[in-house]
Structure 1
Amino acid sequence: MVVKLNKGNALKKSNTTESIEYVQNESNITVINAIGYEYNEDLHIYQSLIDDFNQFSKETNLNITIYLNLFTRHNATLENKSGFLYTQETYLKKKSNLYDIYFYDSVYTPQLGSYFIDLSQYLSKEHINIYNEKIIFEVCYLNNKLVGLPVTLDFSVLFSNTSILNKYNKKIPTTWDELLNTTKYIKEQEKILNNNNDLIIYNGLFPENEVGTCSLYEFIYSYRNSENSTFPVVRSQETVNALEMIKTLKDEVSSDQTFLNVDELIYENLFSNNENALFLKYWKTIPEVLNEIEDLKKIYYFSISTDKSLLGLIIFIIIIIILIVMISSTSLLFIKRFYPFISFLPRDFWFLIILGSIILMFRALTEYGKVSLILCHSKPLLLSIGITFNLVPILYKLIEYLNKPMNGNGGNGGNGTLNMFNFKNNDDDENINNNSFTILDNNNNKQIKSLK
C-alpha cells in the first residue's frame, strides 16, 4: 500500500470524537483529508497511523489534523479495489481538491502515478532513506519521480496443518517437490484409512484479481536459479518448470474448485478465450501459454523491418501503391472524355474527395512505429478529417437537390421523365474553357439542361 500527498483543504466530520473536538476548538487548524479503501474496516492500519499523527500534532502544536475517509463494503457500493481505483482516478482527473492524501495499492502506481507530485522535491534524502531502498524503488517511483511512500507490506504465507503432518510423521515442506510428495502421501493415506476425500490438500489461491496475479508471479519467482537471481524471463526454462509444477499440483493433489478457492480464476479471461481456466483443463502447451503471456505484456506495432515478419513491409508497399494511384487519379479531372462522368460534382469537390481518401490512407500509416502520444491522438484526428472530406461534397449535392423544385414539363407525354439522354460538348475540341455540357432529350431532340 502506498500513500500519496497532495494539496487541498476540505473539512469533513471525523470518525473520532477527539479529533472533532480538536478541530472545533482550534480555528487555525490545517485540515488534511485522506482517502482509502479496505474491504474489512476492522483490519486496516490507516486510522491508527492517522490517530498517532494527530496526537503528535496536538502535543507539538503543529496545528495539523488529518481526517480519513475510508471506503468499505458497508459504506460504499464498490465491490473491490478496482472500483475504488476508478473513484480515485475520477477525483484526480478532475483535479479535485477534496482529498490531499491518497492510500492506494502499489499495483496501480502506473495508472495513478502521473497525477501525483514528486515527493523527492519536498522530502529530504534522509527521510526517503528511512525506507527500504529496493521496495521504494520498485513500487513508489514512476518515470524517475517519487510518487508515493510505502505504508504497508503484504506477505503471502503457506499455512501448514502441523497436526496432520505430525500424524503421518511428515515435516513442513521447504520445496515444491517436497510439498508434492508430502501431499500425495497424505491424500492417499487419508483416503485409505479414513475414507476422507474432502481434505483440502493445497489451494492455489488464484482468484480473478491482483491476488491471483501475485500468486502466479510468486510461484515463478520461486523457481529462479538462486536466491539472488532476478525474476525469470517469460520464455525461460525456469518459467516453464514453474507452470508445469502448478499443473502437477492441480492434477495430482488438488481439484478444480479447491485449486481456485475464491472467485473465478484469472486465466479464464486472460489465457483461455473464455473457456475454463488454463490450468484447469490445460488444453494448451507450455509454449502456447508463454506466447499468450508475452502477448499480454507487449504492445505490438507494424514495422517495415523484415527481422521478424514480412507482413509490415508488404502492407506498407500496398498502402504506398494505393496512395500513388489516388494522387494520379487527379489527372482524370482534366481529361475531356471523362467530363460526362465527373460533371455530377464541381471539380473542386472531386479534389476534396480524393484528398479525404489520401488522409484516410495516411491514417493506416499511424500503425507503424512504436506507440506514442502523438500517434494515438493523430489516429482519430486523421479519421475525422478524412471522412469529413469524403462526405461533405455528397452532402452538399444532396442538400442542393432537396432544395431545388422539380420541373414537371419534360418530354415523353409531358410526364417529366427522360427515357434517354446524351451529353453534347458546347465547346470545340481545341478551346475547352468553361467545360459546359448540354443534356439532350433523344426522344424529342430538345435541350433539357446545361451543365457546367
Structure 2
Amino acid sequence: MKYLLLYTILLSLKILIVVDATLINILTSTREKNYNFYYILENEFNNYAKKENLDITVKITLLTHYNATIYTTRSYGSMVESLLKKHSSKYDIFFYDNTYTSKYSPYLMDLTEYISEEELKEFNPYIISKLCTYQNKLFGLPINIGYNVLYSNKFYLNKYKKRIPKTWKELIETSEYIINKEKELNNTNLIEYDGFYDDSEECLCSINELIYSFREYVTSPFPGLSSEEAIVALETIKYIKDRFSLDTRFKMDIASKFSYFDFNNILFFKFWIYEDNPLFENIFTMSSLPGNKEGVSGTSVTGYNIGINKNINTKQKNSAIEFFKYVISKDFQKKSLINKKVISAISTLYEDKEVCEKRNCEFYKSQQFITKPIENIEDFDEYDLKYREYILKFLYGNKTAKETLKNIINIKKFYFLTIHSEDTSIGLICFITITFFIIIILLSLIFLFMKKFSPYFNFLPQDFWIILIVGLLLILSSCYTSFEELTKTKCYLRYALLSFGIILFLIVFLCQLIINFPEENKLVEWTTKHRYQFLLLFILIDIIPKIIIYIITFGIRDIMIINGQNFQICYLKNGFSNFLKMTEYFFMFIITIVICILIYAEWNIKSTFYDLRLILISLYIDILYALLIMIINFVNITNYLIYYMIQDILISLITIFNFLIIFGSKILLGILNKKDIQSMFINKITKKFIESSTTISKTTTYDSNRSNIISTITDNSVVSCDNSDKKRETFIAKIIYFHNLSESENYNTDVNSTMDYQTKN
C-alpha cells in the first residue's frame, strides 16, 4: 500500500512536470522538396531539452508548396509581417528571410545580450552587419545561408580540355568554342549559359552580383549603379543572351527550367549552392562565379535568420532564448555543416579540420559575398519589383544600360536642389542668385548711414530699419534649406527663418504706426517710451510656439514618383503641431489687419503720406504670396525641381519686392534727386518758423513724429469739434474720423520731418 501511494505521487509529479513544460511554436518555410532539416532540428532539440531537463518542447510549422500558398520569399515574408504587426503570440520564433531584418526589427527581440562578443566574432562579420543587425541592435542570427555558384559541365570541359572559366570573357570564348565543335558533330542542343534573369526574386540577385563582379579589385567596394563598371556589366550579360539566343531560357522560372530542360546539355549554369544534390554532382563541377578580371568575383548571399517574437510572455521568451542558443551554438552548426544540412555563417568552422574533411572549406572562404541592396529601403518588395521591371525591359527590350541603371537609381534615390551640377545646374544658379541678393540687401544698409540719404529714411529710426532688413534676410535665407539632402533640422529652420523674418518685418511697422497714431492714449504713450519692450513682447509671443514645435519636431514624407524622380517634403507629425503653426499664422494675420487699420487711420498725414502707401503695397504683395502658397499646397506636384523652385522663387520674389518697395525706392529717390535735401529742409523750416505765430513746444525726442502730427491737428483746427465728444465715439468712428483729417498747412509737417531727422542723426 505504501509503495502504491509513493508510485501515485511520483506519477502525479511527472504529469505535472509534463503539463508545465513550455511549448515553443516556430514558423518557417521552404520551397525545396524533401527538405528535412527542420524536422531533424525539432527532434534533436527536443531530445536535448529532455536530456538537460529544460522542460521545453519545440514544434516547427513548416510551410511548403504542398501545405500552403507560399511560392515566393515575398509571400512568406508578407505572412510573417502580418503576424508581427498584429502582435500575435501564436508563434514564439520565426525563421525569416534576412532581407527583412529591418522591416521586422520593431517586433523582434534584441538578442545582443544573449550572445557573447566572442561567440559573435566567430560569425562572418559582413553577414552579421548587413543581414542581422539594424540600428546597432541584433535581431537575429543565420541558421543557414546560401549563395550563387557556377556549375560547369564536366563532360564537355574534359572533352575539349577546357578549364573552368574565371572571367566572363573566358566563359563566352569557351562556350563559343565548344558550341562550334559540337555543331560540327551535329549537336545543336547545347545551351551555353543559364542563370536567373527572369521575372522572379532571383533576378535582382543575379544583376547585383554581376555588377559586383566587375569591380576593379577584390577589395574594391560595390561599384555605383551610375558607374562605368555597372554599364559594362549589363552590356556583357545582354551580349551573352543575344550572342547565344538565350531569350527563352533566360525568361524561364526555376520550375520550368527543372521541368523542361536536360541539364546534360547545359555548359554553364548559375544556381544556388547544393553540395549534396546528386543531379548537380554527377553533371557539374562547382566553382565561384566569373568576374571581369580573374580573381575578382561576386555572389549574392542570403539566408534564414532566427528571430524571437517580442510579443510573448517572459516564460516563453526565456524558453525561446534557450532554443536560440542551441541553434546558433558552434556544436550544432558544426554537426549540421558536416552532415550537409546547412551552410553555416560561422567562419571559424571552415578552419576546423573535421569540417574540412567533409566540406570544401577553401571554396567557402574564397567566396566574395555581396548582399541585396536592402539598406535605406523601406519597402524592399516594391523596390525589387521595379528593379526587375527595368532589367527585363533592358534585357528583352530596347532600353540602354545607362538608361536602365538611371531608372533603377531613381527607384530609391531622393532628389533635391544641389549646388553640384551632376544632374542639373538649376540648383547652382539658384544658390548663386540667392547669395547675390543677400549681399545686395546687406550692402544697401550703407545708404542708411549716409547724410545725403538720411531724409528719405525718416519714417523709421535707424535701428528699426536694420531690424526690418534682418527680417528680410531671414526670409530669403530660408531658401538655403532647400539645398542638399532634406533633414528634420532643415525643415524646422525653414519654418523658423521664414516665420520669424515675417514677424520682424511686420512688427517694426506696427510699432511705428502706433507711435504715430494721432491721439494720446496709454498704449501710444507706453509704446513710445518702451519700443524695444514692445518688439521683445511680440518676439516672445512668436518664439513660444516655435520652441514647442521644435520639441515635437518635423517629419519627412517620401514622395515616390513612378518612373520619375522621388523627393521629400517636410510635415508636422501631429495635429497639435499643426494647430500651433496655424495659430502663428493667425497671429501674423492679426498683426497685418491691425497695421492696415492704423494705415487707414493715418492715411492723410502728409509727413508719412508716401510711406503708408508703400507699406500697403507691400502688404498686398505679402497677402498674394500667402494665397499662392495655400493654393500650391493643394496642388499635387510630382517634379522635385518644380516643387522646390516654386517655393524658393516665391520667397525670393516676395523678399526682393518688399525690399525694393520699402527700402530700395528711398535709395533710388536719393540717387535721382541731386539736390541737398538736408539744406533745403533747414532753409524751408527756418523761413516757416519765422513767419508762423504758432509756438512749437514739442521736444525733439524719438516720439516727435507722433507729437507733431497731434500738434498739427490741434493747432490748425481743421475740423472744429469737441474733443471730449470724439473720445466717447466708437472705435470704428474714431478711426474714420482720423482718416478724414488732413493737414492743410505744411508747416508742422516740415517741422516734424526736420525734428525726426535731427533726432535720428
TM-score, normalization by structure 2: 0.38
One-letter code aligned to 2:401: I
1:228 CA drift (Å): 2.4
2:197 to 183, 206, 212: 206
Relative to structure 1, is the Cα distance of residues 432 and 250 closer, same or farther in structure 2, using a 3 angstrom cutoff?
Answer: farther
Q: Residue 105 of structure 1 is aligned with which of 76, 88, 97?
A: 97
TM alignment of 1:271-286, pairs within 5 A: 277-281=393-397, 283-286=398-401
Q: Any idea what the Cα deviations from partners look like across 1:147-192, whole Å, max 9, x if unmatched?
A: 1101111121211112122233322212111110011122222233
2:368 paired with 1:252: no
Work out the CA distance in 1 between the residues paired with 2:405 and 2:390: 18
Matched, 1:173 2:165: yes
Aligned residue identity for 1:289: T
Question: What letter is aligned with 1:34?
Answer: I
Are 1:268 and 1:277, in contact at CA under 8 Å, matched by a contact in 2?
A: no
The aligned residue for residue 188 of structure 2 is 197
Contact in 1 for aligned 2:17/2:55 (Cα 8 Å): no
Aligned length: 331
1:296 to 2:418 alignment: no
Question: 1:201 touches 1:254 (CA, 8 Å); kept in 2?
Answer: no
Contact 1:206 1:212 in 2 (8 A): yes
CA distance in structure 2 between the partners assigned to 1:139 and 1:359 by the alignment: 45
Counterparts of 1:261-272 in structure 2, within 5 Å, are 261-262=252-253, 270=386
Alpha-carbon offset, residue 68 of structure 1 = 0.6
Counterpart CA distance in 2 for 1:134 and 1:185 is: 39
What TM-score do you get using the length of structure 1 for normalisation?
Answer: 0.61
Q: 1:251 to 1:51 in 2, by over 3 A?
A: same
Structure 2: distance between partners of 1:284 and 1:36: 39
Counterpart in the other structure of 2:67: 75
Cα displacement (A) at 1:101: 0.8
Q: Report the Cα offset of residue 98 of structure 1.
A: 0.9
How many Å separate the matches in 2 of 1:431 and 1:169? 109
Q: Which runs of 5+ in 2 are unaligned?
A: 1-13, 257-381, 432-477, 480-494, 503-585, 598-624, 641-731, 736-761
CA change 1:193–1:65 in 2 (3 A) is: same
Structure possessing the higher radius of gyration over alpha carbons: 2
User: Per-residue displacement from partner, 1:410-448 (whole Å, max 9, x unpaired)?
Assistant: xxxxxxxxxxxxxxxxxxxx9699xxxxxxxxxxxxxxx
CA contact (8 A) 2:211 2:223 kept: yes
- Report the alpha carbon displacement of residue 305 of structure 1 after superposing the two structures with TM: 6.2
What is the Cα deviation at residue 223 of structure 1? Answer: 1.6
Shift of 1:273: 6.8
Deviation of 1:261 after TM superposition, in Å, equals 3.1
- Secondary structure of the equivalent of 2:20? coil
Q: Structure 1 residue 143: deviation in Å?
A: 1.0
Which residue is 1:164 aligned to?
156
Q: Secondary structure at the match of 2:23?
A: strand
In 1: Cα distance, 2:56 partner to 2:86 partner:
26
Q: 2:250, 2:137 → 1: CA distance? A: 40
Alpha-carbon contact 2:24-2:92 (below 8 Å) kept: yes
Whether contact under 8 Å (1:205, 1:259) holds in the other structure is yes
Give the 3-state SS of the residue equivalent to 1:97 in structure 2.
Answer: coil
Helix, strand or coil for the counterpart of 2:47? Answer: helix
| Alpha-carbon separation, structure 2, partners of 1:280 and 1:121 | 50
**Shift in CA distance, 89/244, structure 1 to aligned 2, threshold 3 Å:** same
1:237 is aligned to 228
- Bigger mean CA deviation after superposition, 160-169 or 86-95: 160-169
CA shift digits 1:391-425 (9 cap, x unpaired): xxxxxxxxxxxxxxxxxxxxxxxxxxxxxxxxxxx
CA contact (8 A) 1:223 1:239 kept: yes
Task: Pick one of 40, 44, 56 that aligns with 2:32.
Answer: 40
Contact 2:23 2:56 in 1 (8 A): yes
Aligned to 1:58: 50
The Cα of 1:72 is off from its aligned counterpart by 1.2
Q: Which residue of 2 aligns with 1:120?
A: 112
Distance 1:125 1:432 in 2: 81
Between 1 and 2, higher relative CO (CA 8 Å, sep ≥ 6) is seen in 2
Select the residue among 82, 88, 94 that pairs with 2:86. 94
Q: Relative to structure 1, is the Cα distance of residues 276 and 82 closer, same or farther in structure 2, using a 3 angstrom cutoff?
A: closer
Superposition deviation, residue 274 in structure 1? 7.7
| Secondary structure in 2 matching 1:284 | coil
The answer to whether the 8 Å contact 1:268/1:274 transfers is no
Counterpart of 1:179, as a letter, is: L
8 Å CA contact 1:23–1:65 kept in 2: the answer is no
AA in 1 matched with 2:19: S
Q: Secondary structure, in 3 states, of the residue corresponding to 2:147?
A: coil
Return closer, same or farther for 1:103/1:271 CA change in 2, 3 Å cut-off: closer
Shift of 1:214: 1.1
Q: Which residue of structure 1 aligns with residue 216 of structure 2?
A: 225
CA distance in 1, matches of 2:171, 2:28: 38
Partner of 1:29: 21
1:287 aligns with 2:402: yes
Q: CA deviation at 1:293?
A: 2.2
The correspondence of residues 243-392 of structure 1 with structure 2, limited to 5 A, is 243-262=234-253, 270=386, 277-281=393-397, 283-300=398-415, 302-303=416-417, 309=424, 361=632
CA deviation profile, 1:227-284 (whole Å, cap 9, x unmatched): 22222222223222222211221111241011233179x9996369789631233x23
Q: Aligned match of 1:187 in 157, 179, 184?
A: 179
